[in-house]
Structure 1
Amino acid sequence: MIYPIVAYGNPILKKEADEINEGTALDEMIQNMFATMDNANGVGLAAPQINEGVRLFVIDSNLMLDEEDEEKGIRKAFINPIILDEYGDDYSFEEGCLSIPDVRAEITRPEKLTIEYFDENWNLHEEEFSGMTARVIQHEYDHLEGILFVDYLKGLKKRLLKSKLVDVSKGKVSTDYRMVYPLR
C-alpha cells in the first residue's frame, strides 16, 4: 500500500515522535513505507510524513551515490533511533523533502555520525555512517524530532521561501505522488 505523504504545515511534522514499544509488529508498515518512498522517488521517509507519530524511518542512500563513489549506500529501516554523536567536517548540500515539494536549500551538517537503532527484527545496532548516507539519516532523524530542513534557514533565505511554503500547505504544487495538505 502506498501512503499519501503529509505536506508542510501539518502539525505532526513539528511534533516529536513517540518511541515504539519493543517487539511491535512493523513489517507491513515498513514495507509500505519503502513502497511509498520508492513511488515518490525519495531517498528517505519518516513515519511522521505518513501521519504516524512514531520513531521510525526508512532510507535508500544508494540513489544519492554515483558509481565512482567509494561510499556504499544502504537500504534499511531504523526503529527508535538515537544519534549518539555527529562529527567530522561540516559540509553543505542542497536538500529537499517529500513533504515540501519544489523547495530546496543548502543545509550544513557534520559528515559523520554514530547511531543506535533497532532493525525490523528488533535487533539492536550501533553503527557509524558518513557522507550521503549520514546526511539522509540526519534529515530523516530530524523528522522524528519535529525538525524540518527549512528550520535551519535564517533571515532572508527563510523569508524568501515563506510564500512557497504557504503554497505547499495549500496544495499549490504538482507532484507525481499523493499528498495530504493541511490548508486545502
Structure 2
Amino acid sequence: MAIREILEVPDPVLKQVSAPVETFDDALKTLVDDMFETMYDANGIGLAAIQIGVPQRVLVIDLQPEDPDAEPEPCNHDGHHHHHQPTKKEPRVFINPEILDPAEEQTTYQEGCLSVPDIYADVDRPKTCRVRWHDLDGNVHEEPMDGLMAICIQHEMDHLNGVLFIDHLSRLKRNMALKKLEKARKAA
C-alpha cells in the first residue's frame, strides 16, 4: 500500500473524464487500497481515482461516523493525550457508479475537496438518489442514498466526469475561491 500524491487545482488531469473499469483484478484492488490510505492520510471522506492521477471510474468513501459507544482513548503514560473521539471506519468502494433517479428536491451542503484544499462552499444537489455500481469482484449493487452519503457520492461522481465542486458555483464565487487558494499557497 502507498500514499499517493493528491492532484490539486488547476491540474488539467482533474478535468479528464475517467474511463470505465473493465478488469476486476489485483491491480484494481491495489489502486483501491492506495486510495483509502491516501484519503485517510489527508483526513478526507471521499476520493476519486482521478484525484491521484488515475483516470478510472473508481471511488472510495468513508463518512467515518462518530461511534457513540466508543470510549475516548485513555492518555498514554508518555504524556501524549488523545483528544479525538474515535470514529468507526466504514470504507465503501464504488466502481463504475451510475446515479439513477436523482430527487427533484435539492439540498445545500457546504462542500470541500482534497483537490481544492481549505476551500469550502455551499453546493446544491439532489437530496436523494439511487446509485448502481460494481464492487471489487465485479458484482452489481443498487442502493438508495440520502443524507451526507448522497451528497458525497454525487460530489465524487462529478470527479469522474472532470467536474469539481467549485464548478457548480457562479463564476464570481469560483474565481474568489481560486484566488483565496492561490493566496494561501503563496503564504505557505
Q: TM-score when scaled to structure 1?
A: 0.82
Equivalent pairs: percent with the same residue?
39
Relative distance call for 1:21 and 1:150 in structure 2 (3 A) is same
CA distance in 1, matches of 2:111, 2:119: 9
Match of 2:62 in 1: 60
Query: Cα offset for 1:88?
Result: 5.1
The alignment partner of 2:103 has SS state of: strand
CA contact (8 A) 1:102 1:173 kept: no
Equivalence map 1:68-87=2 (5 Å): 74-87=90-103
CA contact (8 A) 2:107 2:127 kept: yes
Relative distance call for 1:60 and 1:3 in structure 2 (3 A) is same
The alignment partner of 2:22 has SS state of: coil
Match of 1:182 in 2: none
The alignment partner of 1:87 has SS state of: coil
Match of 2:105 among 65, 82, 89: 89
Which has the larger displacement, 122-131 or 150-159? Answer: 150-159
CA contact (8 A) 2:62 2:90 kept: yes
CA distance in 2, matches of 1:83, 1:74: 21
Gaps of 5+ in 2: 69-88
Matched, 1:124 2:140: yes
Deviations 1:55-88 (A, max 9, x none): 001000234x685xxxxx9521111111122115
CA contact (8 A) 1:86 1:114 kept: yes
Query: Cα offset for 1:11?
Result: 1.1
Return the structure number with greater relative CO, CA threshold 8 A, min gap 6.
1
Structure number with the higher strand fraction is 1
Relative distance call for 1:76 and 1:107 in structure 2 (3 A) is same
Matched, 1:107 2:109: no
CA distance in 2, matches of 1:173, 1:142: 30
CA distance in 2, matches of 1:111, 1:46: 21
Matched, 1:139 2:158: no
Match of 2:44 in 1: 42
Relative distance call for 1:172 and 1:100 in structure 2 (3 A) is farther
Equivalence map 1:165-176=2 (5 Å): 165-167=181-183, 171-172=185-186
Matched to 2:7, the amino acid is V
Number of residue pairs matched? Answer: 167
The alignment partner of 1:13 has SS state of: helix
CA RMSD, Structure 1 to Structure 2 (Å): 2.2
